[in-house]
Structure 1
């Protein structure tokens, strides 16, 4: 049987993984330049699916020193479809490979030196400890972008219906489909194709590839739908459209066939 590429990627989850990038990476704390490098590495610690940037210690523009802090609590594991359990993003100081913590400038515990020869002179940096990250001259959003992660937006003529307890929430024969590595297909609808009464909740989330999402409730289904009013440059085709969490309490009929509910961290 042929090995799927996604399965191959999941098989490496227990390992410390690294990938060099040719992009210039700059990191700021307020208006203070923390790092400026053209030799950055993307680093995935074991059981992590979101990478962090590592920069050469020589390219740090602020002092660094060893940091010794308490051991952070273990994070919950989640599943990505049929893949193995992975750690939820966040909690940078929960390291899953041996190494030493660093204080970067005034940010205690915001750096980590894995015990790995390839990364011996590098510090992995905590995304949330700093205020701005630039790839070349473009500001990054939410977390580092994975070069092996794709988001494709396609217009479609397939028939899609979203319902809950038999009530149609949205239906279209001209939906926009979003295909994202490791996640189920997302079905985006024009506002006129949404029959449900969407109530804004004030909830927002950030995606490195799509931008900031705003959420809606439908009846008792809280934060069941979302929209990107101003998506990032990769995904202009979903601007203002509405999608639903198909892994929650809604059903999807695609071309007249009821789909199984997918399993994701948002199930």
Structure 2
């Protein structure tokens, strides 16, 4: 299945969604449709919304995209793909399919968002919209953050009594038999730990992140011996419903640490955060 999914990553895919999709820009609702498409452009691991032009209440014009930085683009997910993939941090204007960049602008206002018209017959009357350029998005009456939900992606949470230890250079950061494992499609399992079982001091970082399925995360740096390791752990204090079972638990970027399960050290996973 991973091989099949890896091959699909290299293709342009789309399908209709029956959900009512709305988006605001400059304080105005500029998208309101029940005919949206979920679109996975080649190499992008999360979908975007494509909306019929008729359902966009704004001016649409051709634009010249801003120049992109030189250098390699994408991140390796070696368990899934042999080519770099695009996660939500990759700029919208990094294109992997043919088409025309456009601008969506609210008449009489400075508010504008990027869009893209793919050169594909099935998307001929649609505009793929840059999710992050809009003020807010709703699926039905529920706000969606970070990116649209993938109907083929999910998270599952299971309590485990396995002995979980996290270490770095011989220092133990956490030691527990009360972890909760979070399984997320195409990503390594994460171990969320009771804060009482973290044995190194944690300091709140200014870094914040968002997950479409879990919510907004607070990040922490760890004080290990005489050094500080920045942005190594995070916590969902007010998670979305799918992640309620890890509320106030702490997870670590174990691709940068030594994870020991039941006394056996694990291979470090390769992810965009390695």
TM over 0.5: yes
Query: More displaced, 123-132 or 74-83?
Result: 74-83
Q: Counterpart in 2 of 1:58? A: 54
Unmatched segments (≥5 aa) in structure 2:
none
Determine if contact 1:76/1:88 at 8 Å carries over to the other structure: no
- Pick from 65, 78, 82: which aligns with 2:75? 78
- Shift of the 191–100 alpha-carbon distance from structure 1 to 2, 3 Å rule, reads same
Compute the displacement of 1:71 (Å): 4.5
Q: Counterpart in 2 of 1:175? A: 179
Q: How does 1:138-157 map to 2 (within 5 A)?
A: 138-157=142-161
- Pick from 232, 244, 259: which aligns with 1:236? 244
Compute the displacement of 1:88 (Å): 4.0
Compute the displacement of 1:68 (Å): 3.1
TM-score, normalising length: structure 2: 0.91
Q: Counterpart in 1 of 2:99? A: 99
Task: Tell me the distance in 2 between the aligned counterparts of 1:79 and 1:261.
Answer: 14
Determine if contact 1:113/1:124 at 8 Å carries over to the other structure: yes
Aligned length: 262
Task: Tell me the distance in 1 between the aligned counterparts of 2:173 and 2:67.
Answer: 46
Query: More displaced, 208-217 or 133-142?
Result: 208-217
Residue aligned with 1:253, SS: strand
Task: Tell me the distance in 2 between the aligned counterparts of 1:200 and 1:100.
Answer: 43
Structure 2 residue 3 is matched with structure 1 residue 7: yes
Determine if contact 1:67/1:108 at 8 Å carries over to the other structure: no
Task: Tell me the distance in 1 between the aligned counterparts of 2:121 and 2:112.
Answer: 24
Compute the displacement of 1:30 (Å): 3.3
CA offsets, 1:206-249, max 9 Å, x none? 1111111111111232111111111111110111111111101x
Unmatched segments (≥5 aa) in structure 1:
none
Compute the displacement of 1:168 (Å): 1.4
Query: More displaced, 80-89 or 195-204?
Result: 80-89
Task: Tell me the distance in 2 between the aligned counterparts of 1:178 and 1:45.
Answer: 27
Structure 2 residue 262 is matched with structure 1 residue 255: yes
TM-score, normalising length: structure 1: 0.93
Compute the displacement of 1:72 (Å): 3.2
Residue aligned with 1:86, SS: coil
CA offsets, 1:166-185, max 9 Å, x none? 22111111211100111111
RMSD: 1.6
Task: Tell me the distance in 1 between the aligned counterparts of 2:9 and 2:259.
Answer: 31
Determine if contact 2:145/2:210 at 8 Å carries over to the other structure: yes
Residue aligned with 2:2, SS: helix
Residue aligned with 1:92, SS: coil
